[in-house]
Chain A
């Protein structure tokens, strides 16, 4: 309708971006610093300093083995970010590779792929991941693969729907008439147009993946001791929640920051795409 082109970002979206980046920034900063330096070694126990309340030497207090909570929170952010990013990457690749052909070819290919995806989706995701880890053994790599598989159908659905819409457009017909090969049409003509839809899905996927990982670590199937992850720290500290609440509060806060930050960013993306993303 309007031929006027403006780079227009709504103030609402800007507010979401700012809030999201600040919250996410805290976690990412903790992660980056932990790569080079933590106040104490995250695994070093100190029998003389068990369950210390937050003080100047230990700003976040210490746990039941006398380990510094701040150091552990910092190193836990490493696993959380690593598992969620790698899991989403696997889910994204699997989902895209399955979803685009499903939407493009339709018919039996579509039915077959979607049947597989739907059967994964109709089980509770955490249950499936738990079974996979129980069968293949509890390790970080297995957790990543299990979560990636569980999340792949979500991305496949987004890709399939987008592809079904885009493949009817003239430029795809034009590419077919020009003689562009099918895999090229899917990879280079359709995929770049799916990015605006995949972006919010990816960010939400990161947040959900983190929650799943925390849940699995809480159940003892994710990160193995002595390594720390937010979920693992929460499960370890539940016996001490009355005497040493700081053991729960700080990892939980970091988890909240990370997930809330991601949700804010995805919300900003959604608002921005809905308002200004129309071509």
Chain B
């Protein structure tokens, strides 16, 4: 195979979504021009909606039907991809261009064992005529290469029997099986916790060196890009605004937008203007939970398997915690440590033993996924009035004046709550799909605020937002904390955020609270193994990852 300096050369690519009403819309990609050098790891960063994913889809030939490339060309190893027939392009997928997506839980067929799914990759490309035994051997070797010690066992498992990190490894193995020359990774780590992220990045770096795979790495997490990529490009509104080597761009940015991204990613309290909150620990706590033990019922299959054990699967064991008024408490821990089960128990959504005492009639909650946090069938105004209605606050307005006056009063409350969250009256009549992820999270917060809770529980609100939206949301949360005196219980796997805004932190591991104390104490002088593991992982992301060969 001939060698090219640039394995992919994207030449002045412009892409738009024309419709019958608007034949010349604003392009999604505007004159994008770059090359991926053979054997490098190229990072592509930018806020959500800036065209990162569209760029990768254009290279892979997986653009949506209604997208139209208006000008430019994409060359892969010297061949123009846009002039090829769909059949030729499809045969290139997997063999020459591999792809890994963000969500490992939906990328595998739940009804097929891992070995079978990986075999599918090999049989789909007919030129690899191999016997069944050879295929089996190849899959086993690849699974071992991506770090499974029990490859034979993994091959006979179903996707639901693997953790998120393991699934992502299987996907990487699937993509690497055909030894593609280019591997496109679209946010492969954003749904994983820090420890798993580090191991996945190490694996990708190893693959890059050992199998000589070029990687296009798309991310909105700058801390990941910092140690991992050779070169980095910054995108904004469909244009590439900055490009440089990774170490230069992230320590010494020349473009104003890159600098802004970096500041947002650093989440520095001084630059963003946060003030540390003062908490009075002598007051009665807003939330007291004692000896919570909870779990999920066993499936019929598990019951049949171990008949002797009578108990259900316990996820939480005797968890006790307190949240004081006006306080931000960080709750950290790796995936599967029981954080989400804990908040489900606190909210009363899961049967549990132990007591939960809450001092206010309502607690607010914000969820991780901005896509499903709002009802797609209704407008923002409906959401807000529904929250007002449900809290019983609407009754205060009732009985005063005419119907029209009451309506106006309710509307005034709604706009006031939205205003605190940085949204205006123009958003009232919009539907959730007309808002960005960050805006939707703000509406969710506004819905909590209108109920006037003394505590808001936030379950990983940042993990699917880009750096700029995260910074804004974080600022909003601290503002609310300061001005409305609302306490926050912040569940996250991002230790950096906790360090910045939470004075007190709780560390969970295996369904137990293993450490609790002021943030500075816990994070500088960790007492438990789980905490030090989390801290190690966070540190590793920031330094250049070593390659073991």
A: residues with CB less than 8 A from B are: 1-8, 169-171, 173-181, 184, 188-189, 192-193, 195, 275, 279
Contacts and interface: CB of A to CB of B under 8 A. Distances in A.
B362 interface: yes
B390 A175 contact: yes
Contact of B387 (A170, A173, A176, A178): A178
B430 to A, nearest CB: 12
B256 interface: no
B367 A173 contact: yes
Q: Is the interface of B mostly helix, strand, loop or mixed?
A: loop
A179 B444 contact: no
B369 interface: yes
B486 interface: no
Interface string B377-400: 110000000110111100000000
A4 B390 contact: no
Contacts of B368: 170
Contacts, number: 76
Contact of A173 (B65, B349, B391, B436): B349
B484 interface: no
Contacts of B28: 4
Given A2-B54, A5-B433, A8-B66, A180 B373 contact: no
Contact of B391 (A2, A3, A179, A195): A179
Given A1-B53, A177-B363, A179-B362, A170 B372 contact: yes
A176 B364 CA distance: 11
B19 A174 contact: no
Given A4-B28, A6-B19, A8-B19, A174 B365 contact: yes
7 contacts: A3-B436, A6-B19, A8-B66, A173-B367, A174-B444, A174-B447, A177-B365
A178 B390 contact: yes
A255 B436 CA distance: 48
Q: Which of A2, A5, A188 has the most CB of B within 10 A?
A: A2
A193 B54 contact: no
A174 B66 contact: no
Of A8, A177, A195, most B-chain CB atoms within 10 Å:
A177
A180 B386 contact: yes
Contacts of B392: 179
Nearest to A8: B66
A6 B386 CA distance: 29
Contacts of B371: 279
B17 interface: yes
Contact of A177 (B53, B349, B372, B375): B349
A5 B53 CA distance: 15
A193 B66 contact: no
Q: Which 8 A-B pairs have the closest CB atoms?
A: A192-B377, A170-B367, A3-B49, A169-B372, A180-B390, A170-B372, A178-B390, A171-B375
B48 interface: yes
Contacts of A2: 53-54, 64
A189 B391 contact: no
A200 to B, nearest CB: 17
Contact of A171 (B19, B347, B373): B373
Nearest to A196: B377
Given A5-B433, A193-B375, A179 B19 contact: no
A174 B390 contact: no
Contacts of A188: 386
A8 to B, nearest CB: 5
A6 B68 CA distance: 13
B484 to A, nearest CB: 17
B492 to A, nearest CB: 17
B203 interface: no
B434 interface: yes
Nearest to B370: A170
Contact of A189 (B49, B64, B375): B375
Given A3-B48, A5-B433, A173-B365, 19 more contacts: A2-B54, A2-B64, A4-B28, A6-B19, A6-B66, A8-B66, A173-B349, A175-B375, A177-B349, A177-B363, A178-B390, A178-B391, A179-B362, A179-B391, A184-B390, A188-B386, A189-B386, A195-B377, A279-B371
